[in-house]
Amino acid sequence: MTASRPLSLVTGGSSGIGAAFARQLAALGHDLVLTARRADRLEALAAELREQHVTQVTVLPYDLVDPATPRTLCDELHRRGLQVDWLINNAGYGVPGTFVANDWATHADFLQVLLTAPTELAWRLLPGMRQRGHGRIINVASLAGHVPGPAGHTLYAASKAYLIKFSQSLALENRTAGVNVCALCPGFTWSEFHDVTRTRDKMNKLPGFMWLSAEEVVRQGIAAVERGDAVYIPGRVNRAIKTMVQLLPDQLALWLSARESKRYRNTQI
């Protein structure tokens, strides 16, 4: 940790894994910058954290779908004299349905939020971390980035695989500069994600042992980045799935993915 209170920027901080990061980092003594689209939820969370912890919480409502947002956000941080020590690239969502069922604008927005925005935020904030000799970057990826891409969420697994490789390279480039980078790869996590993608009914059919709480995912993720793990999969079941897929022939792994994805993906639209 730095000598003063570390400052963490959490994207997608209004709910789910992002809100869990905010709560746990505040409990660890961090000041926070929270950004997401829903200002009312951010303000409610900020009020909660200020009451429960001696922490400064800055709320900056921005939509990462706007290509100008990463620069605008970082300019505002600079204007306020805020230096980010921890970057939590958490913002994300899924686009249900087949690739051609959605218009290009929908896919372009998705790529901006899931790929371009976290990459640009890391590029803009990393030099300051290196200069100060300390920093942490957690890119919230997914177990989906380690297994064959399923039908029905065409860009999701691909985007998470990118974050994994991106994090590995950043970790190697910056470890000697005191900056740890980790791709956190949760599996099924209790959050609003499946409500937004309208797959909650299907997901509820999965056995309970396959799920982790957002709080547990975050607890393990914070420990992983502090250890210097470049990639971390929380949960024994998820790690076993990744190992099994690696050992299977590619065609068999793809066949299993096609069979299982019908249970929890909408492949008809």
Mean pLDDT computed over 23-44: 97
**Total domains, the chain:** 1
Is residue 85 domain-resident? yes
Bridge-based pairing of strands 31-35 and 57-59 is parallel
Is residue 2 domain-resident? no
Secondary structure element (H or E) that encloses residue 183, with its range: strand 179-184
Is residue 1 domain-resident? no
The pLDDT tens digits for 238-268 are: 989 899 888 888 888 787 777 766 666 555 5
Spatial neighbors of 22 by CB under 8 A, at least 6 apart, are 8, 10, 13, 32, 34, 45, 49
156 catalytic? Reply is yes
Q: Which of 156, 162, 232, 264 is catalytic?
A: 156
Is residue 18 domain-resident? yes
Q: Mutual orientation of helices 16-27 and 214-227 as an angle, nearest 10°? A: 60
* Rounded Cα gap, residues 36 and 59, in angstroms: 9
Is residue 177 domain-resident? yes
What's the whole-number average pLDDT of the chain?
90
Domain that includes residue 72, residue range: 7-264
Indicate if the pLDDT at residue 148 is higher than 70: yes
* Rounded Cα gap, residues 22 and 43, in angstroms: 12
Mean pLDDT computed over 142-146: 93
Return the HEC string of the chain.
CCCCCCEEEEECCCCHHHHHHHHHHHHCCCEEEEECCCHHHHHHHHHHHHHHCCCCEEECCCCCCCCCHHHHHHHHHHHCCCCCCEEEECCCCCCCECHHHCCHHHHHHHHHHHHHHHHHHHHHHHHHHHHHCCEEEEEECCHHHHCCCCCCECCHHHHHHHHHHHHHHHHHHHHHHCEEEEEECCCEEECCHHHHCCCHHHHCCCCHHHEEEHHHHHHHHHHHHHHCCCEECCCHHHHHHHHHHHHCCHHHHHHHHHHHHHHHCCCCC
Share of the chain above pLDDT 90, in %: 72
Is residue 179 domain-resident? yes
For the entire predicted model, the pTM comes to 0.89
Mean pLDDT computed over 216-232: 98
Quote the Cα angle for 265-232-178, to 5°.
140
- Looking at residue 206, which CATH number applies to its domain? 3.40.50.720
Is residue 209 domain-resident? yes
pLDDT tier for residue 106 given thresholds of 50, 70 and 90: very high
- pLDDT for the residue 197: 45
Phi, psi of 209 (to 5 degrees): -70, -15
Is residue 248 domain-resident? yes
Mean pLDDT computed over 41-52: 97
Q: Select the more confidently predicted residue: 2 or 129.
A: 129
